[in-house]
Amino acid sequence: METGTFHHALKIREDLCVGCSHCMNVCPTEALRVRNGKAILLAERCVDCGKCFRECPSSAIIIDHDDFNYIFDYNYRIALLPAIFTGQFHEEISFRQIHSVLLDIGFTHVYEVENGAEVLADAIQDYADAHPEKKPLISSFCPAIVRLIQVKFPSLVDNIMLLKPPLDISAHFLKKELLEQGIPENEIGIFYVTPCAAKIAAIKEPVGEISSPITGAINMDFLFNKVYHRVAKKSNETCTLPVTLPLSDMARNWSLTNGEAQHIKGRCLAIDEITNVIDFLEKLENDEITDIDFLELRACDGSCAGGVLTPGNRFLTVERLRNHNSTTKDIAVQSNHPDAFRPITECSAYLRELMGIDSISPRSILKLDEDMAEAMKKMDKVNQILKVLPMIDCSVCGSPGCHSLAIDIVNGEADLKQCIFVQRALEQKGELTSDEGNRILREIWGFEKTNKYRKLK
Amino acid sequence: MFMNFEFNVEGGNFTKAGTASSQVKKILKQLNVDSKVIKRVVVALYEAEVNIVAHAWSGKALINISTDRIDLKLTDEGPGIPDIELAMQQGYSTASSAVREMGFGAGMGLSNIKNNCDELEITSEVGIGTVVQMAIYLNTK
């Protein structure tokens, strides 16, 4: 059923999926169904928030990243590293050690993503001042939130600030620096170490941009493992020093909750975790909440520290990032090194030229039909169907709830007989044989699950 | 083709104010109504709902949706409005101080409704109740 219209980093491995439906029950956009004993992803509904990935007990949902060896296709291999990567390690492991191991395993440069925030912070403020009509301005930082607004809150699409996130800004900067050193573009590979699926989707299919300056994405849990084995053996005293200055306090905390909102003037709110965001946006859309200037909305609890690909505990990650101060051993850098990048703020003017993104268009998943009269007919049918459904959202039908099933039926993607309550009634009336009922259940849940009890006998 | 929906509005229950407008919003989104039109409907309906919650004992909202217009009729049993023209003025409010403390009663309700409607008719009888009838036109595509 996957249409392929939208790129998703989340993939379901059919060989591992046991059709347990846990993913379907946590999806905030009702993007999953169970058919033939396997979960399937509805591409147009998924916003890549990764809740299903977190929930899956059989690791059947994967986040499709680039093969690590892909970095060796490039002579210049830059690890674009979020600050939270350092936060995955114990306090005793220094950034210097982590940096050094990243060079050992094959990167030629390491650059922290949030450097881009140094340029972005002012740009957001200028943008907010120039666009009072967009109030409350919604940050474009979290790609899962941008997609959520597109599919579920089409009327708020115009409130999203049309500025690239720090990730893209840093990537543009790195490209410029290396090009100016005379390095041919095809030899530059910029690899983002991602804490989530949404960022990968945003790189592979950016919203409001033609293409992303980022070459590829590597999952943070994967890279963590690669680094973790080696990092303890690295002596902090003898390992290679970083060549780029450490992040400012503002930049280091940018990807944490309130990391962004606290730097914008006016009444600013930071809301994390996607269901919290949905609740808030419902109220905002009703005009029940007014007079807010800026909204920082993040899909994960704890923002990027709680990203689905972060192996560490999010509270410890936040602690490490917040406790960091410039007197720690991480301060030592060789800023005169030939490979050292300039401070990003020296390129502010250039980067601000590149910072804009095109308009973001709504693509509602809620509409029953493009044509209103047709949609009304369908809604009428949905309401009729709802009258006979039990309204207990048991999801035995393979849809996440009664309302979803009703819509699936009207859209020709499901049958009323998939409801176990309806089946029972029909069997009793003699309008459905028990064999027929079993067949329907099998088509949803597969042979094995529907025959367990029989085998036991 | 048209569809009717009815919602009860409970006087004095501010925690439930906005239930009808949330439901109507959900319906209009499913019907692929232009988001700017939805916004107008929701704002007007929310204000009218809050008016019942803040001033009346009980009421109901009747919503009629067709492909060219949305009609909203809110009927309440309540104190009524003695001077409708005065009540329509921006900033005028008879809301009690308790209601104001909750962040309502700024006197923007009726003028906000007026700004979002294509048709508006208010009839009221003191001591009996008020009927607010609104219509918002849809641009047929």
The CATH number of the domain where B71 resides is what? 3.30.565.10
Length of chain A: 457
- Tally Cβ neighbours within 10 Å of residue A390: 11
Instruction: Return the residue in A287, A289, A386 with the most chain B beta carbons within 10 A, the one to mutate for interface testing.
Output: A287
Q: Are A108 and A78 in contact (CB under 8 A)?
A: yes
CATH fold for the domain made of A1-61:
Alpha-Beta Plaits (3.30.70)
Q: How far is A283 from chain B (nearest CA, A)?
A: 8
* Number of domain units in chain B: 1
Q: Which residue of A has its CA nearest to B46?
A: A286
Q: Taking CB atoms and an 8 Å limit, are A379 and B30 in contact across chains?
A: yes
Amino acid, res. A72:
F
Among candidate residues A204, A192, A152, A146, the one with its CA nearest the CA of residue A8: A204
Find chain A residues with C-beta within 8 A of B2's C-beta. Answer: 376
**A54, A269, A306, B62 from A274: Cα distances, Å:** 13, 15, 12, 33
Question: Which of A101-110, A395-404, B91-100 is predicted with the least confidence, judged by mean pLDDT?
Answer: B91-100
Interface of B with A (CB under 8 A): 1-3, 18, 21-22, 25-27, 29-33, 35-36, 38-39, 42-43, 46, 65, 67, 138, 141
Q: What is the pTM of this model?
A: 0.90
Find chain B residues with C-beta within 8 A of A364's C-beta. Answer: 29, 32
Task: For chain A, give every residue range classified as CATH 3.30.70.20.
Answer: 1-61
As a whole number, the mean pLDDT across chain A is 91
Residues 6+ apart with CB under 8 A from A455: none
Please state the rounded mean pLDDT for residues A50-61.
95
Asked if the model's pLDDT at residue A330 lies above 60, the reply is: no
Give per-residue pLDDT as tens, A8-55.
Answer: 889 999 999 999 999 999 999 999 999 999 999 999 999 999 999 999
Angle at B37 between CA B109 and CA B18, to 5 degrees: 45
Asked if the model's pLDDT at residue A431 lies above 60, the reply is: yes
**A98, A196, A247, A306, B91 from A315: Cα distances, Å:** 20, 17, 20, 8, 47
Q: Which residue range is the domain that position B71 belongs to? A: 2-137
Question: Mapping DSSP to helix (H, G, I), strand (E, B) and coil, where does residue A417 land?
Answer: helix
What share of chain A has pLDDT > 90, as a percent? 78
DSSP code at position A349? H
Amino acid, res. B8:
N
Task: Determine the Cα–Cα distance for residues A354 and A258; give it in Å rounded to an integer.
Answer: 25
DSSP code at position A356? B
Among candidate residues A17, A8, A11, the one with its CA nearest the CA of residue A45: A8
- Alpha-helical (H) ranges within A270-371 are 274-285, 314-323, 348-354
pLDDT at position A40, please?
Answer: 95
A297 has which bridge partners? A271
Question: Which of A122-126, A382-386, A433-437, B84-88 is predicted with the least confidence, judged by mean pLDDT?
Answer: B84-88
DSSP code at position A140? -
